Structure 1
């Protein structure tokens, strides 16, 4: 059971690779039904005066993918930014920059998931209120997938949806590097890594892209 929060000294000794391995090990515990557990009362007390998370995860809002749970992480372990379709925008980029440049996180993980509703809606060209603008952020992935997958380019084609989920993660990572000189410089220096993965609703497993 985890009962000790990450300190600044511990965080400073972490590497991007060690953090990624830790998150994947946590997901393996989740899949195997062997969650580590945590003394939340102790962690609340220990993090009252500050936080030193090891990673920031950009995920979808999907209720079936509670990020801390599926990665078996506790209070103070990770930042989580969530938006339907797990894409970047100015506010998300600022949050990622804060996580890494200011608060010392070592890893940016863009986490898509199987059968994403936002991706399906983008595949079908849904237009509805503010959702229309939201889905425009996923449109580049839809277009890319249309050139790579045979058959119907809509949500009725499971292969097309799966490819679009993957492409959306990849393109989001590309845009993070393009739009955030801060994060790109940190990655170039080896201070952080920016990586992508897709979560399986069927198995609970996180698969790296």
Structure 2
């Protein structure tokens, strides 16, 4: 489904340097040149490769102080990852990225509203990111709460944003509550898929970039038991 990263771009975009005295590669922050040269498919493969390193315990060493200094005068992230606030799913870590590599807006239930869409428009149309990922995850507390119609202060309004996914899931047997793991999983997947579509439907700016082939919007699921991210078709 996805094109291979071109060898030259792979070297430039990953920005790997050998640590003196070793054969070990060390990641260096994205630059304006590598971001500009990257395609949406390249950006996707960057995240896929990063998650593979994370799962296999082969994360790249990073000098965060160097990255702080490198990004002090500008940033060139190649992707936007919209995730849940769940503490088990920090995007920079699960994709093995460093300071200045990705934008990472987070909200319980990984849905979009006007503010998040505006942030995504800044990230893509202004800051040059090539990829938007909507990252759901297994055992999502927000989805479970929405399935159980939980009401609690402002959380009631937050969980209401997941309701369309609940209504859309009609083919799962058993109880329609958080007690039914299959139901929760189906709603979680549907919520990610609907959020991807909402981005395209509600942001003409992003839709135009997608139509031009300059940006890709994809959904993905993180398994909290394995650490693996699966990108949705």
Settle same-fold status: TM greater than 0.5: yes
User: 1:1-209 residue pairs with structure 2 within 5 A?
Assistant: 1-145=25-169, 147-209=170-232
Q: Over residues 90-140 of structure 1, what are the superposed CA-to-partner deviations in whole Å (9 max), with x where a residue is unaligned?
A: 110001000000000000000000010000000001111101100110000
**TM-score (norm. length: structure 1):** 0.98
**Superposed CA RMSD:** 0.8
In structure 1, C-alpha distance between the alignment counterparts of 2:198 and 2:35, rounded to whole Å:
27
Find the structure with the greater CA-based Rg. 2
Task: Report the Cα offset of residue 3 of structure 1.
Answer: 4.9
In structure 2, C-alpha distance between the alignment counterparts of 1:16 and 1:190, rounded to whole Å:
8
**Structure 1 gap segments, 5+ residues each:** none
**Structure 2 gap segments, 5+ residues each:** 1-24
In structure 2, C-alpha distance between the alignment counterparts of 1:57 and 1:63, rounded to whole Å:
15
Contact 1:97–1:182, Cα closer than 8 Å, also in 2: yes
Q: Over residues 15-54 of structure 1, what are the superposed CA-to-partner deviations in whole Å (9 max), with x where a residue is unaligned?
A: 0001100101100000001111211111111110000000
Q: Helix, strand or coil for the counterpart of 2:220?
A: strand
Q: Helix, strand or coil for the counterpart of 1:112?
A: strand
Relative contact order (alpha carbons < 8 A, sep ≥ 6): 1 or 2 greater? 1
